[in-house]
Amino acid sequence: MNDDLRTIGSSGKPGRGNRSTSPSAAARSLAGSGTPRRPPKKRQIPEPQESPRLRAVTDEDAAAAAAAAEEAAQASRAQRAATGADEQEEPGLDDLLDALLGGASRLLGDDWEDRFLRIAGGLRHRLSGDYAVDEFGYDPEVVALLEHVIEPLAETWFRLQVRGIENIPAEGGALLVGNHSGTIPLDGLITGYAVRRYAHRALRPLAADLVFALPFVSQMARKLGATLACAEDAERLLQSGELAGVWPEGFKGVGKPYSERYKLQRFGRGGFVSAAMRAQVPIIPVSLVGAEESYPLIGNVPSLARLLGLPYLPITPFFPWLGPLGMVPLPSKWIIEFGEPIRTDAYPAEAADDPMLLFNVTDQVRETIQQTLYSLLVERGNPFV
């Protein structure tokens, strides 16, 4: 394994193994040690009483049962009075408290009291509305929370490799331009995660207007920092020194069939280049491999999609056949490469109004991404290993 192929974040960790000759610590513990585990003790099943299973319930039976229940209740009351509340067999308040404290310290570590207070405090200030969002609706606290959900998906499930992270400027605006694929725009989410995790900056995605017309999706998208992919919003973000992300292929990219995987579609109308030129920020080409295999699109129902007002209605090998289970992405291997920045500040400001120049730069970005995709595909080999 050469150096630049190593996954960022896993290198240098003890017990990770190298996936070829020596197994990781997790794999070793799975394989088991010398002492075999004892089978779990079986619960004792009370012997069934010898009475006929089925028979009509008569009034006498009911009366007898009521009398028996009354007797049992009296007996238990008497016993409780005799022994006192502390010695009863059911778990008492102390046991419950002990279990709760034990669970808390196991869940949150030894300093669980501090952490619990912090969580409760965080919850309280969320519930009292005492937090701020920016004018786009970006809520950093929600993003920080979501990172915990995406991290296992990206690192364990997709075994994400991030390359060229040094091409993202530490400060100042930049426009990240990526290829779009994978039926569900999961690639945007993972790219945002990679930028946040490894470049320690927030990525502000520019999304299609459909996103803001859909319930829940629009609410979440705004909180994650997304905004509408229009010239006004893009320039506002870039001029205020934010990292904006754009996927110019749009729905043509995410909704293309599996047979056309990694073939870039038309790159919009080049609006992203003019936005970057007006704001005088660099364009960073982002090539992402792996999303195509996680949801292979093998069919589409255009008539139903039109009825629902969606750009396409996907059919994958598992969706909709397995229902919600079919929405679990396949564990393909993902690689993100952030390419060398294409500078736009060398052009004069009026260059943004020169369509020929815009087309040329658009083509340059598109070609860069396409070539990088091909070389990444060759390097990756089998998509699922």
Partner 1 sequence: MSRVVLVTGVADGAVARTARLIADRGVEVGIEKVVGVDTTLPTHELGKVKFIRADVRTPVIGKVLAVEDVDTVVHLGVAPASSRFKSTKELNVIGTMQVLAACQRSETLRKFVLGSSTAVYGTSPRDPAVWTESGTARGGTRSGYPKDVVEVEGYVRGFARRRPDVIVTTLRMAQILSPRSTAPLAAYFRGPVLPGVLGFDPRLQFLHLADAMEVVRLAAAHDRPGTFNIAGDGVMLLSQCARILGRPVAPLPPVALGAAFARFARVMGTEISPDLHRLLTYGRVVDTTALRHIFGYEPRHTTRETFESFAAALRPGLLHLGVPR
Residue 225, helix vs strand vs coil: coil
The CB-of-121 to partner 1 minimum distance in angstroms stands at 12
How is residue 102 written in tokens?
């034990």
| CA–CA distance, 264 with 249 (Å, rounded to integer) | 7
Is 150 in contact with 235 (CB distance < 8 Å)? no
Residue 104, helix vs strand vs coil: helix
Is 203 in contact with 192 (CB distance < 8 Å)? yes
Out of 153, 217, 310, 313, which residue is the one contacting partner 1 (CB under 8 A)?
A: 217
Is 234 in contact with 275 (CB distance < 8 Å)? yes
Binding region for partner 1 (CB under 8 A) out of 102-110, 231-239, 298-306, 307-315:
231-239
**How many residues of this chain bind partner 1 (CB under 8 A)?**
30
Residue 337, helix vs strand vs coil: strand
The residues facing 342 across adjacent strands are: 283
DSSP 8-state class, residue 44: P
| CA–CA distance, 10 with 288 (Å, rounded to integer) | 19
Out of 85, 132, 346, 378, which residue is the one contacting partner 1 (CB under 8 A)?
A: 132
Binding region for partner 1 (CB under 8 A) out of 216-224, 288-296, 325-333, 340-348:
216-224
The CB-of-117 to partner 1 minimum distance in angstroms stands at 17
Out of 135, 323, 356, 382, which residue is the one contacting partner 1 (CB under 8 A)?
A: 135
The CB-of-174 to partner 1 minimum distance in angstroms stands at 19
**Interface map 167-206 toward partner 1 (x if CB under 8 A):** ----------------------------------------
Residue with tokens 């009296």: 74
Binding region for partner 1 (CB under 8 A) out of 14-22, 133-141, 261-269, 287-295:
133-141
Residues 236-255, interacting with partner 1 (CB under 8 A): 236
The CB-of-70 to partner 1 minimum distance in angstroms stands at 44
Binding flag, residue 309, partner 1 (CB under 8 A): no
Binding flag, residue 12, partner 1 (CB under 8 A): no
Burial of 216 (0-12, 13-18, 19+ CB in 10 A): exposed
Interstrand relation of 243-246 and 203-207 (parallel, antiparallel or unpaired): parallel
Interstrand relation of 335-338 and 283-289 (parallel, antiparallel or unpaired): antiparallel
Out of 71, 114, 166, 209, which residue is the one contacting partner 1 (CB under 8 A)?
A: 209
What does the binding site for partner 1 look like in residue numbers (CB under 8 A)? 124, 127-137, 209-210, 212-219, 222-223, 227-228, 230, 232-233, 236
